[in-house]
Structure 1
Amino acid sequence: MTALVRAAALTNFAEVAQELGYDPGAALRKAGLRAQLIRQPDQLVEADRVARLLEEAARHTGCESFGLRIAARRQLSNFGPISLLLMHQPTLRQVLLTLIEHLHLLNERLAIQVEDVGRMVVLREELTVSAAGRQSIELAIGVLYRMCGALLGEQWQPASVSFTHGPPSSQAFHRRFFKCRIEFDGAFNGLVCQAADLDVPNPGADPVLADYARKMIAALPGDRERSIEQEVRKAIYLMLPTGRATCKSVAMGLGMSMRTLQRELDARALTFKQLINEVRQDLARRYVVNARYNLGEVAAMLGYSTHSAFTRWFGTQFGCSPESWRSHSARPPDRAA
C-alpha cells in the first residue's frame, strides 16, 4: 500500500522556494503534484513524491538548509485537528505519546520513539522512505523541535540534536535554528533532552477540550486503517540501531503478542525476517556510502554484533563486499544539497 502524507507537509514550501528564486509551481508539477495541494492541507499525497520534491528543491537552489527553512516557519496549528488534542495534553511526554498514536493521520512514513536513558530522553525520529534524504529528515526533526518549543516555551532546552547524515558546507542556519549542540554523522536522527522537561505540567491543558478533540478526530472522514506492515517497518527503523529490533520487542512496542504479530503478517504473506531484511537494505545504502562511518559502526547501526556477520549479509544482498560498494560508489559521502 502506498504510504501517504498530508499535503500540510508542504506548508511554506512555496514561500521558501520563491525566496530562493525557485518556481514552486514548476517544482510541484515536475514532482507529479498539483500546485493546488498547498491550499488543501488535509489532502493526502504520496510520501515518496514529497521527499523527492524536497531533495530536488535543495539541489536546484543550492540551499542545503531548504527543509529546515520550511520547519522554521511551521506552527502547531499546521498539524490540523490533531493540534487541539496536542495542546491540551497534561505534559510534553503525553503530547509526544499522543502524537505517536496519531502519526498515521499525518505521515504514514514518519516514526518517532521516546526512549528514557537515565535522566535523559532520546527522541528518535525516522522516515521509512527510500527517497528520504537530508531535507526530509531535517524538516521532520525541525518541526518536532518547534512543536516542543511552542508547548514548553523557554523551558524547552534540549541537550542536543543528532543527524546520521554529514554536515552542510555552512552550518550557519542550523546553528541559528537549533539552540543546542548539533551532531552530524551521529548514530541516530533525533533529539536528546532532560527527562524532567517532558514531565513539566502543562498549565494550559484542559481535559474537556482534549476529550472533545479526540471525538472530533475519531469522526474524521477517510481515516485509513493503520497498516501493520508500515507500523512494523517503522518500529524496525527505530529499534535496529539499538540492537532491539526483534520480533518480540517490536510486537511489545505495538501492544500485541509475538504470536498475534506473526499471525497478522502471515495474513498478508509477510514475515518479520523479510521486513527487517528490507529495512537493513535501505539503511545499508544510506550508511555504507558515507565514508565518515567506519564499517564497524555501520554493522552496529544495522544490528550486527560483528563485522564479519555484516559483511556476509551484505555480500548476499548486494553481490559484493561493503568495502567494494563504498570504493566504487559514485555518490559523494552525503554532502549533496
Structure 2
Amino acid sequence: MRPLVRTAALSGYVELSRSLGLDPQALMKRVGLDAAGLAVQDRWISGAAVVHLLELSAAAARHEDFGLRMSEFRRFSSLGPISLVLREEPDVRSALGLMLRHEHMYNEVLHTRLSERDGLATIKVGLDLGEAMEHRQATELAVGAFHRVLLGFLGSHWRPLSVCFTHPAPADTGTHRRVFGSTVEFGREFDGIVFYAADLDSPNAMSDPQLRTYARQYFEAIAVPRDTTVPDRVRELIEVLLPTGRCSIEQVARSLGVDRRTVHRHLAQSGETFSSLLNATRVQLAEQFVANRRRSLTEIADLLGFSAPSAFSRWFREQFGCTAREWRDRRGQAAEH
C-alpha cells in the first residue's frame, strides 16, 4: 500500500496558491484531491498525490521555492495530537526523538533519521513514496518544516551550521537565504540539517513539568502502531472522499496505489467489505452531523456523499428506524432531560 499523509501536510497550500495567482481547487482536482477536505486536518490522503500536487503547483506558479514557501505556514499543530506532547518534553533531544519515532502518526511518507558524531547532529530527511517521482518541492517542505520545529525549540535567532539539499540550486535562491541564512547548500549527498549536538540538550522553554506526566499519559492513550491496518486506511479515505461525491472503491484503491481486487482481498481477510465500511462510516458520521442542529439535512446529505436528499432520507430511515428530523428531535429532548 502506498503511504498516506494527514491533510495537515497541505497547511497553507490554498493561501499560498492564491497569493501566486493559482486556482488551488483546480490543481487539487487534477491529482484526485478536494480542497474541502483540508478543513479536517486529521484525515489521511495519498502521499503521492500531495507530492505530485506540489510539483504541479511549483511549475504552474513558476516558483521553484513553492515547497519551501509552504513550510512557512507550518505550526506545531500541523503535527496533530503529538504536538501537545512535544511541547512538554524537557529538552530538544527528547522532543525530536519522540517526533521521529512516531512520525508515522502524522506522515507515512517521511523517513527521518537523527545522528550524532564529532559534536555535530544531523537530521537526514528521506521520502518513501512507493514509486519513482519528482519530489523536490516535498523535500524542501519537509526540511523547512523541521527547521521551523528547531526554531520553535531553540529560538528565532538560532541558526544551523548547514542546510543541505541533493538537488541543484534554483535560479533564484532568495527565499532559501531568507529562511535558512547563508548556510544553505545544494548538490550535497543528503537532504537535511546539520547543527551542533549540544543544541539537543537545550531545555525546552515551552515545557511545563507539571503538565508533562499528563501529556505523556495522553499520548500513550492515542499512540498507534506503525503498521496501520488496511481497513483503517480505507475508513480514513472514505471519510475524505464522501463529501467530494467520488467515494468509490476505485478511488480508494487509486489512493492506496493498488487495484480494487487487492483492496477487496485485504478487507475480506478482516471480515469486511468496502460496502460494509462505507455504510458503517456513514452511520458514524450521520450521528455526529444530524445531532448538530446548525447543519441542514440537505448539507448532511452532501457531506455523506448522497446524490440527493431523498436518497439520504431513505438510507437514514433504513439505518435508524425513523427520519433524520425525528432522530434529531429525540436526541434534543434526551439532552434536555
Q: TM-score, normalised by structure 2?
A: 0.64
CA distance in 2, matches of 1:125, 1:156: 20
Deviation at 1:224, TM superposition (A): 5.8
Contact 1:110-1:125 at 8 Å conserved across structures: yes
Q: Aligned residue for 2:82?
A: 82
Contact 1:84-1:210 at 8 Å conserved across structures: no
Q: Structure 1 residues 37 and 217, CA, compared in 2 at 3 Å: closer, same or farther?
A: farther
Aligned amino acid, residue 89 of structure 1:
E
CA distance in 2, matches of 1:183, 1:197: 21
Partner SS, residue 121 of structure 2:
strand
CA distance in 2, matches of 1:137, 1:31: 19
Partner SS, residue 181 of structure 2:
coil
CA distance in 1, matches of 2:117, 2:96: 16
Deviation at 1:86, TM superposition (A): 0.9
Aligned amino acid, residue 13 of structure 2:
F
CA distance in 2, matches of 1:81, 1:156: 26
Q: Aligned residue for 1:9?
A: 9
CA distance in 1, matches of 2:140, 2:212: 29
Partner SS, residue 202 of structure 1:
coil
Correspondence 1:164-203 to 2 at 5 A: 164-203=166-205
Q: Structure 1 residues 137 and 73, CA, compared in 2 at 3 Å: closer, same or farther?
A: same
Contact 1:90-1:202 at 8 Å conserved across structures: yes
Q: Aligned residue for 1:204?
A: 206
Aligned amino acid, residue 53 of structure 1:
L
Correspondence 1:36-51 to 2 at 5 A: 36-51=36-51
Write the deviation string for residues 193-214 of structure 1: whole angstroms up to 9, x where unpaired. Answer: 0011111122432344333233
CA distance in 2, matches of 1:190, 1:85: 24
Correspondence 1:11-90 to 2 at 5 A: 11-90=11-90
Number of residues of Structure 1 aligned to a counterpart in Structure 2: 226
Q: Structure 1 residues 102 and 117, CA, compared in 2 at 3 Å: closer, same or farther?
A: same
Contact 2:6-2:45 at 8 Å conserved across structures: yes
Q: Aligned residue for 2:119?
A: 119
Q: Aligned residue for 1:161?
A: 163
Write the deviation string for residues 137-178 of structure 1: whole angstroms up to 9, x where unpaired. Answer: 000000000011011104622101000011101101110111
Structure 1's consecutive aligned runs of 4 or more residues displaced over 3 angstroms after TM superposition are 217-220
Q: Aligned residue for 1:227?
A: 227
Q: Aligned residue for 2:215?
A: 213
Contact 2:105-2:226 at 8 Å conserved across structures: no
Q: TM-score, normalised by structure 1?
A: 0.64
Deviation at 1:132, TM superposition (A): 4.8
CA distance in 1, matches of 2:2, 2:16: 28
Contact 1:158-1:180 at 8 Å conserved across structures: no
Correspondence 1:273-312 to 2 at 5 A: none
Q: Which runs of 5+ in 1 are unaligned?
A: 229-337
Deviation at 1:179, TM superposition (A): 2.3
Q: Aligned residue for 1:234?
A: none
Partner SS, residue 155 of structure 2:
helix
Q: Which runs of 5+ in 2 are unaligned?
A: 229-337
CA distance in 2, matches of 1:132, 1:219: 37
Contact 1:82-1:213 at 8 Å conserved across structures: no
How many percent identity over aligned positions?
Answer: 38
Partner SS, residue 179 of structure 1:
helix
Deviation at 1:19, TM superposition (A): 0.7
Q: Aligned residue for 2:152?
A: 150
